[in-house]
Amino acid sequence: MAPSRSRSSTRIPPCIPKRQLPPGYSDSLLFLCARRIVGQHPLPILPALPAHLYPILFQAAFLDGRPLVLQDLVATWPFPVLHFQRLVGHRELLRDHPCKICVQAVILAVVAQLRRELEEPGCDSSGCRLRVLDVTGVPDDPAGRAPDGMSVWSGTVALAKACVEVSKHQREFQRRGSKRHKGRSGVATAAAAPQPPGVDVHADLFVNGTSYGILRDALQTGATSPLRLKCREFQAEKLSLAGIVSLLESLDPSCVRRVDLRFRNLGLTGLSVILPHLSRFPELRSLKLQYSNVDVRPSGIRCLAGQLGMLPSLRELNLGSSRLSGNLRQILCDIQAPLESLELAFCSLVPADLAFLSQSFHAPALKRLDLSGHDFSQGLLEPLRLLLEETSSSLLHLDLMECRMADSHLDALLPTLRRCSRLRFLGLYGNSLSTAALKDLLQKTLELPDLHLVVYPFPVDCYKPEPPHRVPGSRRIYEEPMDGERLAAATAEISQLLANSGRTDLVWTYNPYGHGALDYFSL
């Protein structure tokens, strides 16, 4: 028998505090009715509920924080697929209304359903038709902005534990069946018992040293488990080389579209071990290898280039914080199709690297380009201008943060920036620009119809005229102190220009965090 909720290891409260809903939900008569219905538990009309009402009730239960109602809905879900993001309807709602308890309630309901199917094979009294649970695209909340927020890491752990639990229950059920049927014929009967079709869980997975063990165990249950993990985006942080390879080998190759290996300091030696394992993922479009500490030995560069060339679907590449000086041509030369997103922040590029990129078949296809951390006050400025000319018809996202640009450098780039007619995001944080230069930039880029976010630096004229100070006993030199009144005045001027322009869709901010930078797959 399936365990009752009172015996569950995770206690689900009947509800959590209601959240403020945006227009389009709160003013819908159907949604108001759904909220009234989910306010009751157990749902009085569930046995006779028409299938087409399940999605709106799921929305209301999730956004109002009704985990027990969600469990009841999932237990009788009349469709083969339950897609979290599509059901809630707005990614912003998932981000602004994170609910760890509600996600856990859905997972627990799936586990309970699979345990019932194992205990009573062939019995379909609940009417549940669920075969695919898709929790991809649920926004990450690693900093715990809300007390009930759910990070991708905690979601990964919850799903992995659920897979291991169901697999363990399956083994126990099979052992009990074997004991009931003694002898060879009994073993054959137990083995031939009908197995439930199970549920595939599509998810984005984030693993580190703490969660490695449980995720490894979940993935190794493989296709024989009633609850099977199908990874869409795989992110590993500070994991051993052997651990990364073990998990990559355990992933279903048909679903993976992104691999993100962070802060591992892999170097060319480590990458030469890992990259061959990526060729088994035919749909891999995004590869992020920031902080991999790629060096410039010629033999290693040729090996890296060849392995990147074995990824035919690759469209996004991040090699941030690698030492690539003068080697960009060699690294990208074997890639089979034009890249659409290229992140090369703090890669010590030289003019020849940008010259190659502007002449390559990647330039006209680039939608996202990150060249932060390079010194454009010297010989890189003209190569950058020529590169932007080549990308102007496709570029949507441009990051030039901490590039030592002053007013004169921005002025030289401005005509080319204005030709980037599809630009949506411009990052200039950390450059030495004045209020006057920023106001000029604002006025001259208002004509870009798709530009919605500009991250600008603190204006240089807003710093107090005091020399940088050093803390006694420390080598660190701190920036000049900010003049709060001047910054407030500059911000007010920029805000007034925006207000006068009528561009209510355009945001200018000096905060580089928390604005939800465009992901490649959302471009």
Which one, of 93, 87, 89, 70, lies nearest residue 21 by Cα? 93
Choice among 78-82, 128-132, 135-139, 381-385 with the minimum mean pLDDT:
135-139
Helix (H), strand (E) at residue 507: strand 507-509
Which tokens belong to 178? 């074997």
Please state, rounded to an integer, the average pLDDT across all residues of the chain.
87
Could you tell me which residue, 463 or 356, shows the higher pLDDT?
A: 356
Which tokens belong to 449? 């119809």
| 461-487 mean pLDDT | 71
pLDDT-based confidence at 41, cuts 50/70/90? Answer: confident
The burial of 474, by beta-carbon neighbours within 10 Å (0-12 exposed, 13-18 middle, 19 or more buried), is given as exposed
Could you tell me which residue, 196 or 359, shows the higher pLDDT?
A: 359
Please state, in angstroms and rounded to a whole number, the distance separating the CA atoms of residues 403 and 399: 10
pLDDT at 515 over 50: yes
| Cα dist from 197 to 110, 118, 190, 343, whole Å | 13, 10, 17, 42
Which tokens belong to 409? 């450098």
pLDDT attached to residue 319: 94
Q: pTM for this structure?
A: 0.89
**Where do we find the tokens 């630096």?**
457
pLDDT at 87 over 60: yes
pLDDT attached to residue 15: 58
What crossing angle do the helices spanning 54-63 and 29-38 adopt, rounded to 10°? 70
pLDDT attached to residue 359: 98
| Cα dist from 245 to 249, 265, 397, 462, whole Å | 6, 15, 32, 50
SS3 191: helix
Q: Are 79 and 50 in contact (CB under 8 A)?
A: no
pLDDT attached to residue 293: 78
What sign for the dihedral angle of Cα 372, 374, 375, 381?
negative
What is the Cα Rg of the chain in Å?
27
Which tokens belong to 52? 């087409």
pLDDT at 192 over 60: no
Could you tell me which residue, 119 or 515, shows the higher pLDDT?
A: 119
Residues in the chain: 523
Could you tell me which residue, 10 or 462, shows the higher pLDDT?
A: 462
Q: What pLDDT digit, counting tens, does each position of 401-451 carry?
A: 999 999 999 999 999 999 999 999 999 999 999 999 999 999 999 999 999
pLDDT at 173 over 90: no
Helix (H), strand (E) at residue 203: strand 199-207
- Which amino acid is it at 18? K
Domains and CATH numbers, the chain: 29-119+126-132 (no CATH), 236-514 (3.80.10.10)
pLDDT attached to residue 467: 63
Please state, in angstroms and rounded to a whole number, the distance separating the CA atoms of residues 203 and 220: 16
pLDDT attached to residue 330: 94
Which tokens belong to 465? 């005229």
pLDDT attached to residue 300: 77
pLDDT attached to residue 190: 47
**Where do we find the tokens 């932007």?**
388
Which tokens belong to 494? 């920029």
Helix (H), strand (E) at residue 369: strand 368-370
| 305-315 mean pLDDT | 96
The C-alpha torsion from 148 through 151 and 156 to 158, rounded to 10°, is -10
Choice among 87-101, 182-196, 346-360 with the minimum mean pLDDT:
182-196
The DSSP letter of residue 206 is E
pLDDT attached to residue 123: 65
Q: What pLDDT digit, counting tens, does each position of 130-153 carry?
A: 999 999 987 776 554 444 667 899
pLDDT at 38 over 80: yes
pLDDT-based confidence at 2, cuts 50/70/90? Answer: very low
pLDDT attached to residue 90: 60
pLDDT at 120 over 90: no
